[in-house]
Chain A
Amino acid sequence: MGKVIPLGGRDTGPEAVAAAAAAAGEVAASARRTSRDQRARTSAEAAEREAAAAEGPEWERKLAGGLAFLRRRITGEYEVDDFGFDPDLAEHVLMPPLRPLYEKWFRVETRGLENVPDTGGALLVANHSGTIPLDAVMTTLALHDHHPAQRHLRMLGADLVFTLPLVAPLARKAGNTLACNPDAERLLSSGELVGVWPEGFKGIGKPFRERYKLQRFGRGGFVSAALRTGVPIIPCSIVGAEEIYPIVGNAKALSRLLGLPYAPITPFFPLLGPVGLIPLPSKWIIEFGEPIETAPLGAAAADDPMLVFNLTDQIRETIQSTLYTLLMQRRSIFF
């Protein structure tokens, strides 16, 4: 299953089903009358996709897929996992509008995808920047579209994300959960790929003059979660996200008033109003580094603070040096 290639350049919403669940209408009719087993239906649809791949014009298949998708949503016949992750929605509604951003606007280049394992739990640790967590979203797209196993990245988000209305349910449905040890360990031990951005708000809200300088990595809770579950840690460096909204100031009073960690001021926002909300089209490079195996260290190592600190530092150094290397290789900010 490859990338969605929009017909006529337009690619929105449920229409943009990658494989259009090709003859989903056909399969759905029979599946509707059998048991409620969702897995049987989706595997039947997948098999049907291959069979009907070359039949009928593309738009017809997409329409069929889109209508099938709408029907599934309206009747509630989709599955969510314990965390509220809705892969149906994520793939067909949440990801497609972000693909043009990924491919045309930021022209994201990925390197080192082979360092991310095809199966099994792994912890991805990355630098955070860009005022809003677009870097996290782009990393998710990179792994879903360009990794051979099309892995879903489950991200650990700050408390704030889950208290905001509208944002909170979307975050859960996209597969993300609260950044806390129990959830991280649960996801890792069930073989999921978990992404964590330890710099947190300090990283994402840092002023432009401090770009690409990694902030403190917290207490290393994510490292102890990885140690306890014995999964590899993959350092990830994201270049290009710093320049999308260069923060030149912070309206502290306003941020306190709204209860936000920062109220950013960029050269274009709020000066140019809504136009200032458009991110600058910097060229992005996401590099996945060599995994650090934690299984040889043993689960008891999670309780050794020195070891946890050392490992956290090691990861931080790796990401920082990779960032500098990539910055030197980068031709310019926008190309």
Chain B
Amino acid sequence: MPPRVVLVTGVSRYLGSRLAGVLQADPSIERVVGVDTVPPRPELKALLGRTTFVRADIRNPLIAKVIAQNAVDTVVHMNVIATPLGAGGRTAMKEINVIGTMQLLAACQKAPSMRKLVVKSTTAVYGSSPRDPALFPESFEPRSLPKSGYAKDAVEVEGYVRGFGRRRPDVELSLLRFTNFIGPEIDTPLTRYFSLPVVPTVLGFDPRIQLCHEADGIEVLRRATLESHPGIFNVGGPGVLLLSQALRRLGRPSFPVPSPAVTLVAGLFRRAGLVDFSPEQMRYLSHGRVADVHRLQASFGWVPRPTGEAFADFAASRPGARVLSPEAAALVEERLLHLLVGRRPTDLDRESSSPEPAGAPRA
């Protein structure tokens, strides 16, 4: 049964606002109610269209009234946030994430109109360790749960969601574990990390990273809301990039930091307000994390674009501090070859101008 009244939490943030915009454009949905602690920025007004904004701090029980009054039948919970710097410190972040979720779920439990709950979670719940398998299926139980930060909040949120699922078995539950988002517009700890002029990496480690394009993330959420996909799903682009490879494609210099100094450097960056590096993220930058997205493909019949493509889109939007572009590198290669080998200029001209297929004989 398609949804009629949808409640979206975290509507003032990038993903929430985009999802609300997409949902309100769908004529089969009667009403879209957006909830957040701060009102959305004025420039999002056009995008949000007929979405009703309710400024309700989901940490207090007001949310129950909102759900009851609007007879909400679908809730998309996207208010589990990852950036303490933005939300007024770690305490506020934890409150919004955990207590906010508890209040929301309590409200959903009481509401007889509830039919479906979609929760935006993260693959950070799997942790990052060298002793883990290469790809994480949804059934994977990490040996040690994350102990701090966003990942720990996400684990607690998932716990509460499971509890809700047991108490209201009539509500269809979709838990989406997203890998890191990337894209030209979204602002996440990882995009800020990639935007640093010189990127610190952990010496001796080269993690595998898997990315989900921002537009694909919204598409998955839309499908989960409109269609019926109960269960837990890893969401991310197939394919993997090594961190060193990603930095090279981005054209950014990196400086490796030996592991003992990592916490020091991370602290410096955090205090300077540049990027937030929790221990969980430092582990991620040492060992990486790749999730298996087969279940998503099987159920939704669709996967986000590959990691490499998503990253290329991001890289194209940040031409800024490229140390060496692919075109420049190619040019250097040609000139160097010419210099060392003394090939005739005609060869170089033919090379650079004609897109000759393979098999063209060399003169």
Contacts and interface: CB of A to CB of B under 8 A. Distances in A.
Interface of A: 23, 25-30, 32-34, 36, 43-45, 47-48, 51-52, 55-56, 60, 63-64, 67-68, 70-71, 73-84, 86, 159, 162-166, 168-169, 172-173, 177-178, 180, 182-183, 186
B362 A80 contact: no
A81 B135 CA distance: 11
A178 B240 CA distance: 17
Contacts of A86: 242
Given A30-B354, A178-B133, A186-B134, A25 B208 contact: no
B305 interface: no
Please list the 4 inter-chain residue pairs (A to B) with the smallest Cβ-Cβ separation, ordered nearest first. Answer: A165-B204, A76-B248, A169-B206, A76-B249
A178 B246 CA distance: 23
B193 to A, nearest CB: 17
Interface string B173-200: 0000000000000000000000000000
Contact of B327 (A30, A32, A63): A32
Contact of B358 (A47, A60, A67, A73): A47
Given A178-B133, A183-B133, A80 B245 contact: yes
Contact of B355 (A34, A166, A180): A34
Contact of A30 (B246, B324, B357): B357
B137 interface: yes
A178 B355 CA distance: 43
A178 B132 contact: yes
Nearest to B324: A74
Contacts of A32: 326-327, 330
Given A76-B249, A186-B134, A28 B333 contact: yes
Given A76-B248, A186-B135, A165 B337 contact: no
Interface in B269-316: 288, 290, 308, 312
B120 to A, nearest CB: 24
B26 to A, nearest CB: 34
Given A25-B351, A52-B362, A82 B333 contact: no
A63 B361 contact: no
Interface of B: 130-135, 137, 202-206, 208, 238-242, 244-251, 259, 288, 290, 308, 312, 324-327, 329-330, 332-334, 336-337, 340-341, 347, 351-352, 354-362
A168 B337 contact: no
Contact of B248 (A44, A74, A165, A178): A74
A256 to B, nearest CB: 20
B352 A45 contact: no
A249 B307 CA distance: 49
B324 A166 contact: no
Nearest to A51: B359
11 contacts: A47-B358, A48-B358, A52-B361, A60-B341, A67-B337, A71-B329, A74-B329, A75-B251, A165-B205, A178-B131, A182-B133
Nearest to B361: A51
A63 B333 CA distance: 10
A81 B259 CA distance: 26
B140 to A, nearest CB: 8
Contact of B333 (A60, A71, A78): A71
A74 B333 CA distance: 11
Contacts of B340: 63
A61 to B, nearest CB: 10
Contact of A172 (B203, B208, B246, B352): B208
B130 A162 contact: yes
Contacts of A70: 333
B358 A159 contact: no
Contact of B362 (A23, A29, A34, A159): A23
A67 B357 contact: no
Nearest to A74: B329
Contacts of A165: 202-205, 259
A24 to B, nearest CB: 9
Contacts of A33: 355
A163 B132 CA distance: 11
A29 B359 contact: no
Contacts of A63: 337, 340-341
A168 B205 contact: yes
Contacts of B290: 82
A43 to B, nearest CB: 8
Contact of B134 (A29, A76, A183): A183
Nearest to B340: A63
Contact of B130 (A55, A84, A159): A159
Contacts of B250: 76
B329 A84 contact: no
Nearest to A24: B333
A101 B362 CA distance: 36
Contacts of A44: 357-358
Contacts of A159: 130-131
B132 A84 contact: no
A40 to B, nearest CB: 9
Contact of A48 (B131, B326, B351, B359): B359
Given A36-B308, A51-B361, 14 more contacts: A25-B351, A27-B358, A33-B355, A44-B358, A48-B358, A52-B362, A67-B336, A71-B332, A75-B249, A75-B324, A75-B326, A77-B249, A169-B205, A177-B133
A80 B248 contact: no
Contact of A163 (B130, B137, B241, B362): B130
Given A26-B351, A63-B337, A63-B341, A80 B358 contact: no
A32 B356 CA distance: 12
Contacts of B327: 32
Contacts of B244: 76
A36 B208 CA distance: 20
Contacts of A43: 358
A169 B325 CA distance: 25
B359 A47 contact: yes
Nearest to B351: A29
A52 B245 CA distance: 30
B248 A68 contact: no
A68 B362 CA distance: 17
B257 to A, nearest CB: 11
Contacts of B205: 165, 168-169
